[in-house]
Homo-oligomer: A and B are copies of this chain.
Amino acid sequence: MKKHNFSAGPCILPQEVMQKAAEAVVELDGIGLSLIEISHRSKEFVGIMEKARSLALELLGLEGKGYQALFLQGGASMQFLMSAYNLLEKKAGYINTGTWSLKAIKEARLVGEIIEVASSQDQNFNYIPKGYSIPNDLDYLHLTSNNTIFGTQLKEFPKTNVPLVCDMSSDIFSRQLDFSKFDLIYAGAQKNMGPAGTTLVVVKEDILGKVSRKVPSMLDYAVHAGKDSMFNTPPVFAVYVSMLTMQWLKDLGGIAAIEEINERKANLIYSEIELNPIFSGFAAKEDRSIMNATFNITDDSLKEIFDEKCKEAGINGLNGHRSVGGYRASMYNALPLESVGVLVDIMSDLEKKG
């Protein structure tokens, strides 16, 4: 049965990418060897890494603007620590939009002074804080562009002279932004970019080298940048599949093209959530994520039948995160509009019959 994969991450990737990835595990590009058995210093893999790095900058419109793209290990969680290690000398500010921001704050507190510039904790993170003022003396301001768990997303970014650091794990490559406003962007691959196992770090070179501490090699962006993201053995498969996925996106027309499709998917589900009395959205309307739609069922007696219908239709990964409950439809780049259609049909059928 065809599946409709709404998983929050790891998540759906383009079918043709998975197909090509499988072929490369058997044999890479006719070289007589598998992708996963060649040296990372081979010309084949060096080419893959370079292509991945340049595609990332190209898609973000950051080529020739003083940025380096790195593909590291450790997940976005390692970036909570690394960003602070590399950039925090005295004091940094964080916008707290939920779980991921909180984890980032926790790790950064081991490194230096952290102030919470704004928070939406008072309403269980169902909105994005606005209208706060940003102190001038921060080493950086840390944002989470999209909160995967609560389904909230920053639509506008603060204007400030303070360097901006942004965790874009769950909405990288999904919408057009002026990415040159950010000094450091990081994103675990396992939503819009590829399989789990690598993390994209896009760092503006001129913000590096300003902290006085000795940074361990593996935590040092300058070390990784100096070795073209090959300081040690990279996660070969994850980088390759990320490269394929970025190439797929480029061929599709890049971020501008996918943004349109993403908006159509989001509009489809949010208008159903709004119009249908059986469902109610979790996030404040103006802050709703186009990637993760969080919603609840208003009539508990219909939960069982809704779950059953979803299962019958091949819908996967719709459960909300344990800290919010309810449902979460994650609609990353590779999720077809059709899948959202299938879900929305079940939702509206339920109302008609209910």
Name A37's contact: one of B13, B75, B219 (CB within 8 Å): B13
Name A33's contact: one of B3, B19, B195 (CB within 8 Å): B3
Residues of B within 8 A of A131 (CB): none
- Is A162 an interface residue, CB under 8 A from the partner? no
- Is A347 an interface residue, CB under 8 A from the partner? no
Q: Which of A3, A11, A23, A314 has the most CB of B within 10 A?
A: A3
Contact check, A106 vs B236: say whether CB atoms are below 8 A apart. Answer: no
Contact check, B107 vs A40: say whether CB atoms are below 8 A apart. Answer: no
Whole-angstrom distance between the Cβ of A109 and the nearest chain B Cβ = 9
- Is A12 an interface residue, CB under 8 A from the partner? yes
Binds B, one of A203-211, A227-235, A291-299: A227-235
Contact check, A21 vs B36: say whether CB atoms are below 8 A apart. Answer: yes
Contact with B along A89-132 (1 / 0, CB 8 A): 00000000000000100110010000000000000000000000
Contact with B along A25-67 (1 / 0, CB 8 A): 1100000111011111000000000000000000000000000
Residues of B within 8 A of A241 (CB): 36
- Is A275 an interface residue, CB under 8 A from the partner? no
- Is A151 an interface residue, CB under 8 A from the partner? no
Contact check, B214 vs A110: say whether CB atoms are below 8 A apart. Answer: yes
- Is A174 an interface residue, CB under 8 A from the partner? no
Give CA–CA (A42, B12) in the complex, Å.
Answer: 14
Contact with B along A4-16 (1 / 0, CB 8 A): 0101111111000
Contact check, A19 vs B26: say whether CB atoms are below 8 A apart. Answer: yes
Contact check, A235 vs B232: say whether CB atoms are below 8 A apart. Answer: no
- Is A217 an interface residue, CB under 8 A from the partner? yes
Contact check, B18 vs A217: say whether CB atoms are below 8 A apart. Answer: no
Contact check, B34 vs A237: say whether CB atoms are below 8 A apart. Answer: no
Residues of B within 8 A of A32 (CB): 1-3, 314
Contact check, B236 vs A235: say whether CB atoms are below 8 A apart. Answer: no
Question: Which residues in chain A, 170-212, are within 8 Å of chain B measured between CB atoms?
Answer: 188, 190, 195-198
- Is A346 an interface residue, CB under 8 A from the partner? no
Q: Which residue of B lies closest to A109 (CB)?
A: B214
Contact check, A196 vs B26: say whether CB atoms are below 8 A apart. Answer: no
Give CA–CA (A196, B190) in the complex, Å.
Answer: 17
Contact check, B9 vs A233: say whether CB atoms are below 8 A apart. Answer: yes
Contact check, B219 vs A81: say whether CB atoms are below 8 A apart. Answer: yes
Contact check, B38 vs A73: say whether CB atoms are below 8 A apart. Answer: no
Question: Which residues in chain A, 222-261, are within 8 Å of chain B measured between CB atoms?
Answer: 231-238, 241
| 29 pairs, A vs B, C-beta closer than 8 Å | A7-B39, A9-B233, A10-B38, A10-B40, A10-B233, A10-B236, A12-B37, A13-B36, A13-B37, A21-B36, A22-B25, A36-B196, A38-B316, A39-B317, A40-B196, A73-B74, A74-B78, A75-B232, A77-B217, A77-B218, A81-B218, A81-B219, A106-B217, A107-B216, A190-B233, A196-B233, A196-B237, A197-B236, A235-B235
5 A-B pairs closest in CB distance: A197-B235, A36-B195, A73-B73, A77-B232, A22-B25
Give the interface of A toward B (CB within 8 A).
1-3, 5, 7-13, 18-19, 21-23, 25-26, 32-34, 36-40, 73-78, 80-81, 103, 106-107, 110, 188, 190, 195-198, 214, 216-219, 231-238, 241, 314, 316-317
